[in-house]
Amino acid sequence: MTAPGARLTDPGARRHGPATVDDVRHSVRPRGFDPARAAHPTRTLRLDEVVDLLELTHAPEVIRGYRERMSAGDLFPPVSVIRLFGRWLVADGHKRYVAWAGLGGSEIVVEVWPLGRWLGDQAGQTARNARKNGRILARLFVDPRESLLLARTTAEHWRRVARSLARRALRRGKRPESLPA
């Protein structure tokens, strides 16, 4: 059992990795996120423990809006993470993560996805991408303009993913000096 002000939100959270700081260090949960909106266990992590592999965004205006709403006291669902290779990786909530990090907080409330949930999310994304690629091919002869637009958005997405990973590799895993938006 943990002490009052403990960082773990449920007894089962211990199975998701070691506690990151002493249980009694903080008695107030960082603002910005509502653990009640999570479907899986939540915990508070130091921001520098969370790795976002997709740091480049296609929607800086959304991040600015989130940041403004967080500053005003609005609560968001926790950023979803998965523990892989000893790291906490952002699985969902990249824009919320960047918005929160830009506010200068040192901790973040996260939802810890089990491996099965993350694999299900990846399978869903793969299926949606396959359908989109099928639409690109199907529309090529019926509506080449729409097909080209879909192909461009797909190419831009993968370019952004590649640039994010390349930037991270060049920094050798160090945190970026500044986050977008």
Same domain for 42 and 78, yes or no, is yes
Prediction pTM value = 0.66
Give the closest residue to 140 by CA, choosing from 151, 131, 126, 154.
Answer: 151
Residue 181 lies in a domain: no
Query: Per-residue pLDDT averaged across 61-88, rounded?
Result: 94
pLDDT at position 5: 39
Domain final position from 113, 130, 164 = 113
The per-residue pLDDT for range 88-127, each reduced to its tens digit, is: 999 999 999 999 999 988 999 999 999 999 889 888 888 8
The per-residue pLDDT for range 70-80, each reduced to its tens digit, is: 999 999 999 99
> Taking the CB of residue 172, how many other CB atoms lie within 10 A of it?
6
The per-residue pLDDT for range 157-176, each reduced to its tens digit, is: 778 777 777 776 776 656 65
The full DSSP string for 114-165 is -HHHHHHHHHHHHHHHHHHHHHHHHHHHH-HHHHHHHHHHHHHHHHHHHHHH
Same domain for 49 and 128, yes or no, is no
Give the closest residue to 42 by CA, choosing from 98, 108, 100, 95.
Answer: 108
The Cα–Cα gap between 38 and 35 comes to: 5
Domain final position from 66, 84, 113 = 113
| Element holding 67 (H helix, E strand) | helix 60-71
The Cα–Cα gap between 107 and 109 comes to: 7
Work out the mean pLDDT of the chain and round it to a whole number.
78
Per the structure, the complete domain to which residue 101 belongs is given by 1-113
Same domain for 71 and 104, yes or no, is yes
